[in-house]
Amino acid sequence: MSTQPPTMNEVSFRPRRYPFPDRPRGWYALSWSHELPPGTLKTGTWFAQDLALWRTASGRLVVSSAYCPHLGAHFGHGGCVEGEQLRCPFHDFRFGADGRCEQTPYGKPPPAAHLRTWTVREINGLILVWWDPAGRPPDFAIPALDVEDWTTPRVHRWRLRSHPQETTENAVDVGHFPGVHGYHDLRVLRPLTTDGAHMNVHYGVTRSGAILGRPWRTVAIDFDIHVHGLGYSQVNAAIPELGLRTRTFVLATPTDDEHIDLSIGISVERQRRGSISPLLLLLPRTLAWELIARAALLTYRNEVSQDIAIWENKAYTHPPALADGDGPVGRYRAWAGQFYREHGSQPCV
């Protein structure tokens, strides 16, 4: 009888899905700008914390605790924004954008009544909050884009069982492109490069079948992928034959230890709509580009949906048994390690 211990393949085991030490630091999307007009409030659970996102009447953005520091009322249940203040529904305490209690029905506000706030930025039509489990300030920024000739992003979102490092890894996992998404003839137009928190890679592929909801013969597509941290990815796609260029934002925000909010937004450059279909020339320009943007969102939403079941049921495997053709997964994981508090101790490299 063998005295050797069983190998991993000979025993039944259930791996821990996300063996990371904490949630990675970075910029994460809480909302699209158009979803939060002045004077409005929304609350939610992100980073396993109940947060309030609100915009004052003058347009100032605030991300704060969702609980009043006075006696713990939740602002999402009866609270509101009045002018430049957030009003508590319980005792009518009022808080300014810096978190200080500015007004109570009793007179002088107690000094301890101070809301915790987080660093927030509004850029590229997004409301982004900075998260760092160690409480450090931002150490990289999201670049601003010129949006003059681009449509307003069309948006779709999911809540799913996954992790930002897992969903972002799809950008370099080229091995799944043919089987899951039907992309073929992969060409690396620019190999993976990293510069601090920024990662870039540029691919060319071909695809047959429906493009923007209509059948097409095989067309070439370029994907120029820019990743800033693990919560913000931008994919610049071009289909030269159609004269079509799109920007897709892929935004993964942790909600708790098992789930993320995954939001996508797609914007289309206003170029030659007649190259896509001559019929579009018969429509008013604004309507034509709105229809193109809707079709682009539907196409990309369907592609992301093909990944959902895989993400929700996979476990983070380390070390992976990589094969030729998988793409630079190892280099991606080494780059991703910098966003954790204990860089080098977690199984992501």
- Looking at residue 273, its amino acid is R
* Angle CA 196–125–339, to nearest 5: 25
**Residues, the chain, total?**
349
Q: What is the CATH class of 26-131?
A: mainly beta
| Multiple choice CATH, 154-339, 3.40.50.300, 2.40.50.140, 3.40.50.10140, 3.90.380.10 | 3.90.380.10
Rounded CA separation 235/228 (Å): 11
* pLDDT at position 57: 98
* pLDDT at position 284: 60
CA distances, 281 to each of 20, 192, 272 (Å): 52, 39, 9
Rounded CA separation 325/37 (Å): 46
pTM: 0.89
Span 30-80, pLDDT tens digits: 999 999 999 999 999 999 999 999 999 999 999 999 999 999 999 999 999
Contact (CB, 8 A) for 114 and 69 = yes
Q: Where are the beta strands (DSSP E) in 124-213?
A: 126-131, 154-160, 184-195, 198-211
Rounded CA separation 37/54 (Å): 9
Within 10 angstroms of residue 289's Cβ, the number of other Cβ atoms is: 20
Rounded CA separation 78/93 (Å): 13
Q: Where are the beta strands (DSSP E) in the chain?
A: 26-32, 41-46, 49-55, 61-65, 80-82, 85-87, 94-95, 101-103, 117-118, 120-123, 126-131, 154-160, 184-195, 198-211, 214-228, 232-239, 244-254, 260-268
Give me the phi and psi of 303, to 5 degrees please. -65, -45
User: How is 87-99 classified by DSSP, letter by letter?
Assistant: EPTTT--EE-TTS
- Report the SS3 class of residue 14: coil
- Report the SS3 class of residue 103: strand
* pLDDT at position 12: 44
Rounded CA separation 193/83 (Å): 46
Within 10 angstroms of residue 5's Cβ, the number of other Cβ atoms is: 7
Rounded CA separation 222/238 (Å): 5
Q: How far is CA 282 from the centre of its chain?
A: 36
- Kindly list the domain boundaries of the chain, sorted by start residue: 26-131, 154-339
Contact (CB, 8 A) for 300 and 264 = yes
Tokens of residue 170, six digits: 């799809």
Q: Is the peptide bond before 319 cis (omega within 30 degrees of 0)?
A: yes
Tokens of residue 47, six digits: 């980073």
Residue 179 is classified by DSSP as I
* pLDDT at position 38: 98
Listed as ranges, residues in the chain with pLDDT below 50 are 1-13, 274, 344-349
* pLDDT at position 218: 83
